[in-house]
Amino acid sequence: MRLTEGKGHFIRCAIDTPYAGWTGTRVLEGVAPTPPLSPWMALRALNEMTTLLPGGLALVWDAEPSWLPVLGGDPRTGFFEALSTLPGISLHLRENAAGHFSQGIFRGWIHGPEMPTGVAGDLWRHGALGWVPDRGKAWSLPDFGHVPHGETALLGASDEVVPGFLWGELLLPLGALASLDASGIAANLESIQLELERAFSQRMAEGGWPAALPFQRKRCGWRVGILGGTEFQGASGAWEMAAEDLGKLVRILETRLKSSVQVGPCQDAEIAYLLGLQAMREGLPWRNSLALPPALPSFTTGLGADARIPSPLESRAAFPLAIKDLLQHPPIALLRVPAVPSEGAAEAMLARLPAIPALRWLPPDLPLPGPFNPDQPWSPATDFPFPSDPSAGVQLGLFGEWE
């Protein structure tokens, strides 16, 4: 992976391949023809794909492979457990497919218009799977973008996911939008894309790309990842102005690069720290939104409040409506709670949100996601406010634990 630093931004890409990609499960039909070798051949093919994509591969469960129903109970469970632990894989499925999975899976997402219930809801509230509030047949993949499907499908299936890729990511804090040199960034990305296309063409000519993952130039674009929403709001930034600046940047990039540009929040803590360090080191204008030393000079990932610091659930899950239409996928909200929330409590919290992000609960019995930083540790689970369940009829006493 290659990381390039610019004034107020970082560019992340691969060296001789696309940076990241997504595909549906129909690609597993050709590489895994017959049981009992089918699941393990499929895992081998997916591992080969993720090795070549440093930004990861999103596997969308748009159709059940024909060989899966033939497997017995133990091989089926073993396949899904092994699939969930492949480095760089993120799983995406509908609610009716959640029965295949267990509470050990931590990189899966349920996509649907309503809050998951039943088996899927139990997995979601226990933190095994996240939930993305997609409507209809849409797939909005966190950290990737919006995925085309339907009429553009390769095999004519209305729900088939079309494989796609990202050349790389442009990562920046919201406070820097008004000061960025959009034309200079576009020229830099254009140069990087030209190098990537030449190197990737040579790789494909030498047979170094898996045939199971078809590549088309018109389905490869870029992604703009934004962060520092908490600092931007704390500095009294205008979300409408940020949306205007972001839309202008995207239009310039699309015109210059001749490719699509996805927009979404950046959840990378390392990039948030590097951008904060750069702003303080070089005295850039947007450094004023950061906390003063000796606090760590780091922006908050995404658009909401820091998931590691106790705050109301709504502040950790909120994102501005003014910028919603520019995002190709909702921001991720990691909600740490002292216990597994009830269905009524989860429903009551969602009713208070004007716009619903991609939600993943973090009850204390699950391992917390990294990276871990001693200067910015996770607060204990007992310090985080818990959503109240209006159906339970329980009200906290006036004197709390003294009663």
Q: Mean pLDDT across the chain, nearest whole number?
A: 86
Q: Which residue has the tokens 């917390």?
A: 368
Residues 6+ apart with CB under 8 A from 129: 98, 101, 105, 108, 109, 110, 116, 120, 123, 360
Taking each helix axis from N to C terminus, what angle separates 343-351 and 118-125, rounded to the nearest 10 degrees? 80
Residue 338 in tokens: 């002292």
Residue 6 in tokens: 């610019």
Q: In whole angstroms, what is the distance from residue 197 CA to residue 205 CA? A: 12
What pairing do the DSSP bridges indicate for beta strands 145-147 and 108-111? unpaired
Q: In whole angstroms, what is the distance from residue 300 CA to residue 339 CA? A: 25
Work out whether the CA dihedral 239, 244, 247, 248 comes out positive or negative.
Answer: negative
Higher pLDDT, 386 or 383: 383
Residue 319 in tokens: 């994102």
Kindly state the average pLDDT of the residues 190-207: 95
User: DSSP characters for 231-268?
Assistant: HHHHTT--HHHHHHHHHHHHHHHHHHHTS-EEEEE---
Q: In whole angstroms, what is the distance from residue 231 CA to residue 235 CA? A: 6
Q: In whole angstroms, what is the distance from residue 349 CA to residue 45 CA? A: 41
**Model pLDDT for residues 325-346, shown as the tens digit of each residue:** 899 998 899 999 999 999 988 9
The CA-atom distances, in angstroms, between 383 and each of 221, 308, 309, 343, 380 are 42, 10, 9, 21, 6
* Single-letter amino acid code for the residue at 246: L
pLDDT at 44 over 50: yes
Kindly state the average pLDDT of the residues 89-111: 81
CA 291 from centroid of its chain's CA atoms: 26
Kindly state the average pLDDT of the residues 78-97: 86
Q: In whole angstroms, what is the distance from residue 335 CA to residue 345 CA? A: 13
Phi-psi region of 400 (alpha: psi -120 to 50; beta: other; left: phi over 0): left
pLDDT of residue 224: 97
* Single-letter amino acid code for the residue at 177: L
pLDDT of residue 106: 65
CB neighbours (10 Å) of residue 97? Answer: 18
Using an 8 Å Cβ cutoff, are 329 and 132 in contact?
A: yes
Nearest 5 degrees, angle CA 259-CA 177-CA 356?
80
Q: In whole angstroms, what is the distance from residue 97 CA to residue 62 CA? A: 10
User: DSSP characters for 1-69?
Assistant: -EEEEETTEEEEE-SSS-SEEEEEGGGHHHH--STTTHHHHHHHHHHHHHHH-TT-EEEE--S--TTTT
Using an 8 Å Cβ cutoff, are 14 and 54 in contact?
A: yes
**Model pLDDT for residues 114-166, shown as the tens digit of each residue:** 999 998 999 999 998 999 999 888 899 999 999 876 544 444 455 688 889 99
pLDDT at 349 over 50: yes
Element (H, E) at 326: none
pLDDT of residue 282: 93
**Model pLDDT for residues 160-198, shown as the tens digit of each residue:** 888 899 999 999 999 999 999 999 999 999 999 999 999
Using an 8 Å Cβ cutoff, are 224 and 185 in contact?
A: no
Q: In whole angstroms, what is the distance from residue 272 CA to residue 228 CA? A: 8
pLDDT of residue 400: 47
Kindly state the average pLDDT of the residues 296-300: 90
**Model pLDDT for residues 229-258, shown as the tens digit of each residue:** 999 988 888 999 999 999 999 999 999 999
**Model pLDDT for residues 264-290, shown as the tens digit of each residue:** 999 999 999 999 999 999 999 999 888
Q: In whole angstroms, what is the distance from residue 83 CA to residue 269 CA? A: 25
DSSP SS3 for 291 = coil
pLDDT of residue 319: 77
pLDDT-based confidence at 102, cuts 50/70/90?
Answer: low
pLDDT of residue 392: 45
pLDDT at 104 over 80: no
Using an 8 Å Cβ cutoff, are 237 and 174 in contact?
A: yes
pTM: 0.89
The CA-atom distances, in angstroms, between 263 and each of 41, 246, 321 are 34, 9, 15
